[in-house]
Structures are given as structure tokens and as C-alpha cells.
Structure 1
Amino acid sequence: MSNRITVGLDGSGAAGAAADWAAREAELRGDDLELVRAEDWAQYGPFTAPLPEPRHQWAEDLLALTRERLLREHGTLTVSTREIQGAAETALASVAAGADMLVLGSRGLGSVSGFLVGSTGSATIPETETPVVLVRSTDGADRPAAHASDSGPVVLGVDLHSDCDRLLAFACEEADLRACPLVVVHGWSPPPILSYAPALDPGVQTEIADGLAATLRELLSPWEEKYPRLAVDARTVIGQPAIQILDAAAGAALVVVGRRIRRPALGTRIGPITHAVMHHALSPVAVVAHG
């Protein structure tokens, strides 16, 4: 662990909300906080030229003013700043490689619940194996969404057919730091044959549900031993996983979902369940890469 949390700034209210969340997280963990402004040189044309002075000064001022504000509000924090060059997603992924966590802002959709994750956030997440936390603001304001609660549970979505160790390690630590419950959700659907012939064996669905519940409890058992004070609410529920996670996440302090580490030549590298939770959760969303 690097004992450092990095937050990306772009001058938006959403990024300001992300900085506030990251500062509170750094205090919980006893970590340092790093404020980063990524500058995409490509927008200035194909020629190698110095960064225009007004824009450079604006970036310096943004970092300095945000640092000063956070130090006033969180006097015990160690806060550093850094400007980096290159495309935002690759630059942020590069600095995230040495951090415990990368925090980015996402603009809310006004009265409609959901994220506008934006091209930078969507492009950065597949480029790093460091956990990325997306913090939503309301109407781009410099504050977290009103529906997000620091006192709620940590909600974790799991797929029992995947390696969940990295997700569980992250979610258990977050819940333990907050002294809040951990809600673990696995959404599933009955085999299609039961829809066509439910009368064949009315106990089959119950048997499947009991088996999944037992598998989830077995998965959680070593983590409950490691975190004996942690209250764990394990749920295996019928329905689309993204919808079940979002239902459980109402009022959550943090929602944790996974992203498989893979680099296909074409196509998305964020799965549909994680994508849906990223775009519709009201609470901060942590995306954790796993095998």
C-alpha cells in the first residue's frame, strides 16, 4: 500500500465534490492526499509547444486553491499537488498506479438519478488496476449528491462464478473503517426451463436458492473471521444483478462493483452490470479490478 489517495481535478463542481470525498477518505485511512491536474497536450495541435501561460496559471491556481480549502477543512491532512502531461485517461492511470485509490467526479443528471461518467472516467477505469471511485455531484455543484450518505452501509455486488477476493478485501476494509454494515448482493435468475415447466419440480428453485446462499456464506466466512466486528448482510436475490445492487444501494455510503482485468482488441472493458451501476447509483461507486 502506498498510503496515498489521488484525485483528478478539472475545475468542475463534480471534481470539487470528488476532492471533498477523497479528503474524508484519506482521513479515515490515515493516507496522504494528492491533487492532480492532467493536461491533454493533443488539444493544442501536432506541434511541440509550451503550454499557454494563461491555461498553465489557471491549472496552478486550481490546484493551489483546492489544496488551501481542503487544508482549512481537514487540518491534519498532508495534501500535495501535481500537474501531468498527456491524455487525461492515460495520465491519470499512470499516477493511479502508485496510489491506493483514484477518485474522479461525475456530474449528476439533475432530477434524474444517474451519472454522466464522461469520457475521461469511462476511459480511465479500464486503464488501471487501482480501485477507481466515482463521486457524483448534483447538477455539477461542488458537493456530493444529496442522496449519498456517509453513514449508510457499504454495498458490494458479487458474481459467485468469479474471483471475488479483491472486491471483498476492498469492501470489507471500507466497511470496517466506517464501522458500518456490509451488504453483499448476488443477483441471479432461475434456469429458463423452470419458466416453461415450473410444475416439474416446485422445489428446484428453492434448492437452487439455498445452494447459492450457502455458497455466498462460505465465500464470506474467512472475511468475517478477519473482520470480527463487521456486520455482514448476505443476500442472494432473484432478479437482474444491476437492479438488485442499485436497490440495495439506496442510502449507501459506498457501492463496490468489479471489473475483470482483460484487454480485448475491440469492445468495452467494463461489464454491463458495472456500467449500469456506475451510471445510475446515487452514492459513490468504487470499481475494483479483479481476475
Structure 2
Amino acid sequence: MNSTVTAALDDSPEAAAAGEWAAGEAWLRGVELRLVHVRPKESKALQAPFRATGTRHPTGARHRSAGGLPEEVVAGLRDRHPEVKITADELTGSPADILQGIAHTADLLVLGSRGLGGVRGFLVGSVALATLAHATHPAVLVRAGPEEPERAEPPGPRGEAGDGRRATASAREGPGEVVVGVDLAQPCDEVIRFAFEEARRRGAVLRAVHAYRLPPAETWATPPAVGAYPPFDIAPDAGEITRYEASALSALLGRRRAEFPGVEVAEEAEVGSAAHHLLQAADGASLVVLGRRIRRAPLSPRIGSVAHALLHHARAPVAVVPHS
């Protein structure tokens, strides 16, 4: 089965932003873009048992008045991104169920989010949150932003090849960094590798951010807990802990640095809230990458507090990478 980037679209501004970003990502990956619109069934009484794939409708048979994706949206994406093969499907059924099904199979699923302005952050709908919480493959939430900037030649490796292709949405973000959140207590290689790959595609700096908290001051007079830190000659001070955390972060990234020698890496090991430091790093970034641990029953799927904060407040697209 060929790789694809899949974008869930309707006729909203946030979905249009997601479609543009997804087209850029498909171009960077050299794969097909699949546009999907989910139309709820009009009458529950007429609903048949749901099937994971939904009911497909040919693109040409849709009409805007029937709630389908306007043909000009698809035509516009094809016109702006002729280098990307774009297909479009309309599915009928429960949006939450269908998108969660797609999130189990799509190589990358792209969703939209509505901006509220000011400090209020962004409106992430219940369907999008449920899809992200159940996804077993990476999914990206994209903001509805201001008017798109002028196109330019992409800064990444494909632009350097001089093939004359126009940059698309993710490439047009320019040299913005790719930011990845790293948890040294529960490191995940899948998340780190995904971030390295995205940085390489864009020709961007990869900024790895790790946040930690100092132990309570009253415990410093006693040896640290077993496994918390390596043995010190005396009770560690803040400087020693900071140096240890920075060294551990560098060691963790070492293996992927060797695999991606062309990716410049910036490392941050900071005291404090992970959400706070990641939101600061996300300002001006082209992509933020976070991990989400796949939880099995009896616990219900969840996104996590750090990812939840970034999804609601970061202006950059946020990729959530599930891992075991």
C-alpha cells in the first residue's frame, strides 16, 4: 500500500489551513494527499450498522447544499499544488468513528483547529481531541492563521535539488525550527526519530526541549532516591543536577544525531514546566512534536496535560506521535 498524507476537511477556515499544510507535507514526503470529508447521516432511523470505512461517494457527485466539501476547495488545492497527487473522498457516518478509524491506518492524519485570539488560545473540537487520543499513527493539528504568505522556493533538501517546484504550506513556513518535547523519565525513540525526519525534510534546526523539576530543598541534605540521579559525593546542588540533565539529554539524542548527520540540533534542559518551555520554543516553529503513550484498558485513551496545553495554545502545527 502506497504511503499517503490524509487531511480531514470541511468548508471551514481551519480545515482549509489543514489542507494547505497537508499538501506541503505531502510534497515534502513525495507522497499522495488524500482529502476526506465526513458527512453525518441525516436520520438516525435510516442509519445502517456502522462500518469502519464509511460510505464513499464520488467527488463529482457532491453538492455544497448537501453539506459536502465544495468542489472549488479541492480544485483550489490541486491548482496551487500541481506537483502533489490529490484524491478526495466523502464518507457518510459518525465523524468521530470514521476519523478514529482513519487515524488507525493513515501514515499521517492532519486536522484543523480554530483560533480564538488573544490568550484564549485555540478551540480544539471534541472530534479532533477524540481522534488524537485514539490514533495509533502520527496526527497533526493545524491552526487557522492569517492570509498565506507568498510562495518561495522551499528551504529543504528538495528545494536544493533545483527541481523548480513551488513550495507548499509546510515548506513555506521557512526556516522555522522543529521542536520536540523529550521526557528523560520515559524516553521514546519513535517520537525523537519522527522529529529528526521532519527536521531533515525541512532543512530546519531540531530543538529538543526537556523540562525537569528540582527535588524539594529539604531533601537535598540526604542522598537522592535510588535511580533518580547517579551517586554524588555529597548532596547535589542545582548546578550538578542541571549538568546531569543536560548530559543525559545529549546522550539520548546521540544515536539519532549519527543517523541524521545533516540535522542541526539545539538542546534545552530547563527547570520548570514542560508545557511552559515548549510553548516558548513553539513560538515561530514550523512544527512541534509531542509523544502520547498508548494506554490500554481499563484506562481510557488520553492525550496528556502537556500535549493538551500545546494543542490549545501553540500557534505552530502540533504533531502527536503515539508510542507504546
**TM class by shorter-chain length?**
0.7 to 0.9
Q: Which residue of 2 aligns with 1:9?
A: 9
What secondary structure, in the 3-state scheme, does the structure 2 residue paired with 1:46 have?
Answer: helix
| SS of equivalent residue, structure 1 residue 156 | strand
Number of the residue aligned with 1:262: 295
Which AA in structure 2 matches 1:46? A
Aligned to 1:69: 76
Match of 2:143 among 136, 145, 163: 136
Aligned in 2, Cα 1:92/1:84: closer, same or farther, shift over 3 Å? same
Aligned to 2:26: 26
1:180 to 204, 216, 238: 204
> Structure 1: 5+ residue runs without aligned partners?
none
1:89 aligns with 2:96: yes
**Which residue is equivalent to 1:101?**
108
Deviation at 1:92, TM superposition (A): 1.3
Structure 2 residue corresponding to 1:282, chosen from 306, 309, 315: 315
Structure 1 residue 266: Cα displacement: 5.4
Distance 2:15 2:128 in 1: 11
Could you tell me which of 257, 266, 281 is aligned with 1:224?
A: 257
Instruction: Report the 3-state secondary structure (helix = DSSP H, G, I; strand = E; otherwise coil) of the residue aligned with 1:81.
Output: strand
Q: 1:143 to 1:115 in 2, by over 3 A?
A: farther
Q: Give the drift of 1:199.
A: 7.9
1:156-235 alignment to 2 at 5 Å?
156-192=180-216, 194=217, 196=218, 203-235=236-268
Structure 2 gaps, min length 5: 49-54, 150-171, 223-233
Query: Does the residue aligned with 1:82 lie in a helix, a strand or coil?
Result: strand
After TM superposition, the structure 1 stretch with the greater mean CA deviation from structure 2, 83-92 or 168-177, is: 83-92
CA RMSD of the aligned region, Å? Answer: 2.7
Greater displacement, 154-163 / 175-184? 154-163
Q: Bigger shift: 171-180 or 260-269?
A: 260-269
Alignment coverage as a number of residue pairs? 281
Q: 1:198 deviation in Å?
A: 6.5
Q: CA deviation at 1:226?
A: 0.6
Amino acid at match of 2:249: L
Deviations 1:35-69 (A, max 9, x none): 0011233x632333899xxx952268625322211
Q: 1:63 to 1:100 in 2, by over 3 A?
A: farther
Distance in 2, matches of 1:143 and 1:137, equals 10
Report the CA distance between 1:163 and its aligned residue. 3.6
CA contact (8 A) 1:16 1:143 kept: no
Q: Give, in whole Å, the separation in 1 of the partners of 2:317 and 2:207.
A: 15
Name the CA distance, whole Å, in 2 between partners of 1:143 and 1:25: 16
**What CA distance in whole angstroms lies between the structure 2 residues aligned with 1:270 and 1:2?**
29
Match of 2:63 in 1: 57
Greater relative contact order structure (CA < 8 Å, 6+ sep):
1
| Greater mean deviation of Cα atoms: 67-76 or 94-103 | 94-103
Contact 2:10–2:37 under 8 Å retained in 1 = yes
Q: Check 1:46–1:61 CA distance in 2 against 1; reply closer, same or farther (3 A cut).
A: closer
TM-score for both structures, normalised by structure 1: 0.88
Alpha-carbon deviation of 1:268?
5.7
* SS of residue matched to 1:62: coil
